[in-house]
């Protein structure tokens, strides 16, 4: 037997039984974005590597060790996108979107690639919904971003996510803070692990993010960013808090919250679950400097990205089960003539009821095995066309999920019955 070629570690297939939940989330997200007046962007999955080196930052985990880089045949360095913001900003500038007057609100959805150590909630190909806004200085748009995410949790029936917010200050304020931090950690060099000693030179703020228990005391004693904030950031931050209070969105201020991407400034936020190590579902903030850094006009901007796999893990089991069935009705066909007539009948049903999910038995199968297939398809009705039914232009309807007597009806009454029994009750589709 030939040796099987397997998928790449950390990159997963989504099977038909699982995709119903993906579609449900995607549909809900689209609905949400439509209702807030955001437009969809679709960017390439491959970009020039320089785009991320310049924006995400040379000394970040993503660029240092997680990017899938390769050299194209024309010697250009390309990579699979590790995140969506940089590409979205590039697309916005390149297509003149950000040069036009007026604010922009966009969203995107798709796969991202990072060569991390695969584990639960952490994959090498994962999927994000991203939302980016341009041309609006905070904090009203910051509040809008948080309100719409809170609404998404509500639409999906997800409880228990905690909103954490922090202000990183302007770039200038952060540079001052960075100096203080380096001076402080230099006094505790021997207590820092090797990763942190390296970060002290490249990206000292990331040390605050370290999960190493033996460093927690040193980290706790470090100067706090909130003590170095500039007036403008401080004012925006307290205004945002007031807006969230007014809208009734609960949050906590986490002074240790930093982002693993260099372009953030002022507001940063995380929506965090209560269980598991990979518990951050959604992360974002302001990046006022990014557009001009990529050659566009000075443009205030803010956005977030949401991990779809981590969101899926929070969906209610009951809700997931309700999304599973892929068919409503299954047409059982006994005999050569019924097989031919069945295909034609099914087409006419589909003409009238496009929303119905009708599966037709194809190929062989005894009556019993066809009914088994009908049951496995998730259908609530088996429609049976045998020789007797065919001769009388009738069809038998068998109820697979209800204690109910089967009935034989004229074929001309079939669409009315299906509409009554199924289509009128369809509320949510997977």
Least spacing, CB of residue 264 vs ligand ATP, in Å? 9
Residue 83, token pair as written in the block: 């995140």
Nearer residue to ligand ATP within complex by CB, 90 or 114: 114
d(CA 298, CA 174): 19
Nearer residue to ligand ATP within complex by CB, 62 or 383: 62
Least spacing, CB of residue 59 vs ligand ATP, in Å? 15
Nearer residue to ligand ATP within complex by CB, 303 or 378: 303
| Interface of this chain with ligand ATP, residues 251 to 310, rule: CB under 6 A | 260, 278, 280-283, 305, 307, 309-310
| Interface of this chain with ligand ATP, residues 44 to 83, rule: CB under 6 A | 83
CA–CA distance from 394 to each of 331, 390, 410 (Å)? 13, 6, 4
Within 8 A by CB and 6+ apart from 29, the residues are 107, 109, 129, 152
Residue 57: CA count within 13 A, CB half-sphere? 15
3-class state of residue 424 by DSSP: helix
Nearer residue to ligand ATP within complex by CB, 110 or 335: 110
Alpha-helical runs (H) found in 203-312: 216-220, 231-247, 290-293, 308-312
Least spacing, CB of residue 9 vs ligand ATP, in Å? 12
Least spacing, CB of residue 83 vs ligand ATP, in Å? 5
3-class state of residue 230 by DSSP: coil
| Interface of this chain with ligand ATP, residues 108 to 147, rule: CB under 6 A | 114, 116, 121-123, 126, 128
Residue nearest to ligand ATP (CB): 307
Nearer residue to ligand ATP within complex by CB, 38 or 269: 269
d(CA 420, CA 424): 6
Residue count at the site for ligand ATP (CB under 6 A)?
A: 18
d(CA 391, CA 137): 73
Residue 390, token pair as written in the block: 């065919």
Least spacing, CB of residue 233 vs ligand ATP, in Å? 20
Sheet-wide strand order for 162-167: 39-40, 104-113, 125-134, 301-307, 280-286, 265-272, 162-167, 252-253
Least spacing, CB of residue 49 vs ligand ATP, in Å? 17
Nearer residue to ligand ATP within complex by CB, 268 or 383: 268
Q: Does 206 bind ligand ATP (CB under 6 A)?
A: no
CB atoms under 10 Å from CB of 393, counted, come to 10
Least spacing, CB of residue 203 vs ligand ATP, in Å? 13
d(CA 146, CA 140): 10
Nearer residue to ligand ATP within complex by CB, 128 or 170: 128
Q: Which residues are near ligand ATP by CB under 6 A?
A: 83, 114, 116, 121-123, 126, 128, 260, 278, 280-283, 305, 307, 309-310
């Amino acid at each position: 037997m030939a040796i099987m070629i397997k998928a790449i570690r950390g990159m997963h297939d989504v099977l038909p039984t699982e995709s119903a939940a993906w579609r449900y989330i995607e549909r809900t997200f689209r609905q949400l974005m439509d209702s807030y007046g955001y437009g969809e962007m679709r960017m390439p999955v491959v970009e020039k590597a320089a785009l991320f080196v310049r924006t995400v930052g040379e000394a970040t985990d993503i660029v240092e060790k997680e990017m899938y880089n390769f050299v194209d045949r024309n010697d250009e360095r390309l990579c699979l996108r590790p995140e969506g913001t940089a590409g979205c900003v590039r697309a916005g500038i390149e297509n003149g979107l950000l040069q036009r007057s007026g604010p922009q609100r966009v969203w995107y959805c798709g796969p991202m690639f990072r060569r991390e150590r695969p584990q639960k909630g952490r994959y090498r190909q994962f999927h994000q919904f991203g939302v980016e806004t341009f041309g609006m200085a905070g904090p009203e748009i910051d509040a809008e971003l948080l309100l719409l995410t809170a609404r998404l949790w509500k639409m999906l029936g997800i409880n228990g996510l905690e909103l954490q917010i922090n202000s990183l200050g302007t770039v200038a304020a952060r540079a001052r803070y960075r100096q203080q931090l380096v001076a402080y950690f230099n006094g505790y060099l021997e207590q820092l692990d090797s990763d942190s000693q390296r970060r002290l030179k490249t990206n000292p703020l990331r040390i605050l993010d370290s999960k190493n228990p033996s460093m927690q005391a040193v980290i706790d004693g470090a100067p706090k960013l909130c003590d170095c904030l500039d007036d403008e950031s401080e004012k925006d931050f307290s205004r945002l808090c007031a807006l969230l209070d007014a809208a009734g969105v609960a949050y906590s201020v986490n002074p240790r919250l930093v982002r693993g991407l260099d372009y953030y400034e002022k507001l940063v936020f995380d929506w965090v679950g209560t269980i598991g190590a990979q518990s951050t579902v959604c992360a974002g903030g302001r990046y006022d400097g990014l557009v001009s850094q990529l050659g566009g006009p000075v443009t205030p901007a803010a956005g977030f990205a949401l991990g779809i796999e981590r969101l899926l893990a929070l969906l209610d089991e009951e809700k997931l089960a309700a999304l599973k069935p892929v068919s409503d009705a299954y047409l059982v066909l006994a005999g050569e003539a019924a097989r031919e007539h069945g295909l034609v009948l099914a087409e006419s049903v589909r003409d009238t009821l496009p929303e119905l999910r009708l599966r037709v038995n194809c190929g062989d199968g005894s009556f019993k095995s066809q009914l088994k297939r009908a049951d496995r398809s998730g259908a609530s009705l088996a429609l049976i066309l045998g020789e007797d039914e065919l001769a009388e232009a009738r069809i038998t309807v068998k109820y697979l999920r209800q204690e109910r007597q089967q009935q034989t009806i004229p074929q001309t009454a079939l669409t009315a019955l299906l509409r009554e029994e199924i289509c009128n009750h369809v509320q949510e589709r997977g």
